């Protein structure tokens, strides 16, 4: 089968697309990677939420899928909204890499030992709220750009530290630059963080079958719980929230939070269960009952 993969042009996106290509070619498929520039890549001078949130990294790729210009999209799952276009579907989830966040600091100090007033770079409201809740004495500033750009700005002295996803750093061979890997108890990941998702046209059953051997069911079940929480809460890029489902006894232990972006108010919750969809929905309902809607500005 000939498969055209649509991908953003960043080093990480291309690594992921080439990784999928490298797994499909030995199965006899002809695979081509097609680079597509998205709104999120093109507009770098404004906060991400002002240009459509994380969905800004998918819009043009999904349009190319619908127009049959490409056949398969490879995404970082944490960037994928819970609501997809009606004619598209997530057809496979690859085995999850390290879901945690990582701190890189110029001083070599971990988060709790950074000097008061240290300038921390992140574009994520989720990371901002957790940083300020733990260290209200830090200055958290917006930092857009791909992994290389963010690390370069750190090395140039624009920031004292930055926070990035550990999975991306590992995939790009930059894990050795990490000062501290942040435990989920300190920095809860985004729903789906560390997982790669494949998206295709809903009617393309032959392609879904072709990529089926790449699917990792344990990852799929864990991220279903996290995304069920996100969907039931109605949250997205504009809301500081996190969720992580850790395997436990054949089921999952789901931890989640909703907060104000300045970290001044926090709602945390956890729940255990076996059915991912029920687990995520029930934890979201529990946090909504405790006032999560007010924190989300609704």
Are 54 and 62 a contacting pair, CB within 8 Å?
no
User: Is 262 an active-site residue?
Assistant: no
Q: How far apart are CA 169 and CA 18, in angstroms?
A: 16
Are 56 and 48 a contacting pair, CB within 8 Å?
yes
Catalytic residue, chosen from 71, 79, 101, 204, is 79
> So which residues are the catalytic ones?
79
């Amino acid at each position: 089968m000939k498969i055209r993969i649509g991908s953003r042009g960043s080093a990480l996106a291309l690594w992921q697309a080439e990784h999928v290509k490298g797994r499909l070619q030995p199965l006899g498929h002809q695979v081509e990677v097609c680079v597509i520039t998205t709104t999120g890549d093109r507009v770098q001078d404004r906060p991400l939420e002002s240009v459509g949130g994380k969905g800004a990294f998918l819009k043009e790729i999904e349009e190319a899928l619908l127009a049959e210009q490409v056949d398969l999209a490879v995404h970082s799952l944490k960037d994928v909204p819970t609501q997809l276009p009606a004619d598209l579907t997530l057809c496979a989830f690859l085995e999850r890499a390290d879901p945690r966040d990582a701190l890189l600091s110029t001083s070599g100090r971990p988060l709790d030992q950074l000097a008061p007033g240290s300038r921390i770079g992140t574009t994520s409201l989720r990371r901002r709220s957790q940083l300020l809740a733990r260290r209200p004495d830090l200055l958290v500033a917006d930092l857009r750009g791909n992994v290389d750009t963010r690390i370069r700005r750190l090395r140039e002295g624009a920031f004292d530290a930055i926070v990035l996803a550990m999975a991306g750093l590992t995939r790009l061979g930059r894990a050795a630059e990490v000062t501290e890997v942040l435990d989920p108890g300190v920095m809860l990941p985004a729903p789906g963080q560390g997982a790669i998702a494949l998206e295709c046209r809903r009617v393309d059953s032959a392609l879904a079958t072709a990529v089926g051997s790449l699917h990792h069911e344990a990852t799929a079940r864990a991220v279903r719980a996290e995304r069920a929480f996100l969907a039931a809460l109605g949250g997205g890029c504009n809301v500081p929230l996190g969720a992580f489902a850790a395997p436990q006894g054949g089921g999952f232990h789901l931890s989640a939070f909703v907060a104000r972006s300045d970290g001044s108010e926090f709602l945390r919750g956890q729940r255990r269960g076996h059915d991912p969809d029920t687990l995520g929905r029930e934890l979201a309902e529990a946090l909504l009952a405790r006032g999560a809607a007010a924190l989300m500005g609704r």
